[in-house]
């Protein structure tokens, strides 16, 4: 599988190498966990990352999710065979949330990369219940493994409480 990162806006190129490295580790762990659906059909895996302003993410969130508020990441599915889809990030919101959680911005971005990829793979948490539990169990497990390798001092900082 191949990863293509596209659609970086001016000023956000600094995250290209970081996101490529994190996504490669995320992808390895998704494969190990057998979380990639239809993996045998994937000849190439393209993921587009887009960085937008607060006003743009609010507008997208309102138009597509009927939520008139800013968010850190939105996911839009691809064709499921070559394109995994598109993740749209708002770095201003990400920086705010990372600071609030006392995490480095890049590491919070890495967690959102996994979170968004899980959404693109069909995992959901919006309605609670078993789906939410499964998504966050997998997210926690993979983030611990990826962070253990790439940011060992933060390997448990991303855990979502599973009540």
Encode pLDDT of 54-81 as tens digits: 999 999 999 999 999 999 999 998 876 7
Closest CA to 86 of 61, 60, 116, 112: 116
What's the token pair of residue 28?
Answer: 């390895």
Other Cβ atoms within 10 Å of 162 Cβ, number: 10
Q: Give the pLDDT confidence score for residue 73 in this predicted structure.
A: 94
Full-model pTM: 0.82
Q: Specify the pLDDT at position 21.
A: 82
Q: Residue 97 above 90 pLDDT?
A: yes
- What is the 8-class DSSP label of residue 34? T
Cβ neighbours, 10 Å, residue 81? 12
Q: What is the pLDDT of residue 126?
A: 78
Calculate what percentage of the chain has a pLDDT beyond 90.
Answer: 23
* The CATH fold of domain 13-154: Collagenase (Catalytic Domain) (3.40.390)
- Residue 28 near residue 72 (C-beta atoms within 8 A): no
More confidently predicted of 138 and 45: 138
The structural domains of the chain, with segments of one domain joined by +, span 13-154
């Amino acid at each position: 599988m191949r990863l293509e990162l596209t659609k970086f806006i001016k000023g956000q190129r600094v995250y290209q190498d970081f996101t490529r490295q994190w996504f490669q580790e995320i992808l390895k762990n998704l494969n190990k966990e057998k979380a990639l659906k239809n993996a045998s059909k994937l000849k190439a895996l393209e993921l587009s990352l887009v960085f937008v302003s607060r006003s743009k993410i609010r507008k997208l969130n309102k138009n597509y999710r009927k939520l008139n508020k800013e968010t850190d990441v939105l996911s839009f599915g691809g064709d499921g065979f070559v394109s995994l889809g598109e993740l749209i990030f708002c770095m201003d919101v990400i920086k705010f949330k990372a600071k609030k959680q006392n995490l480095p911005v890049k590491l919070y971005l890495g967690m959102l990369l996994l979170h968004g990829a899980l959404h693109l793979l069909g995992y959901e948490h919006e309605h609670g219940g078993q789906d939410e539990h499964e998504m966050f169990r997998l997210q926690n497990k993979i983030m611990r493994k990826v962070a253990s390798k790439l940011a060992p001092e933060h390997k448990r900082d991303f855990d979502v409480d599973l009540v």
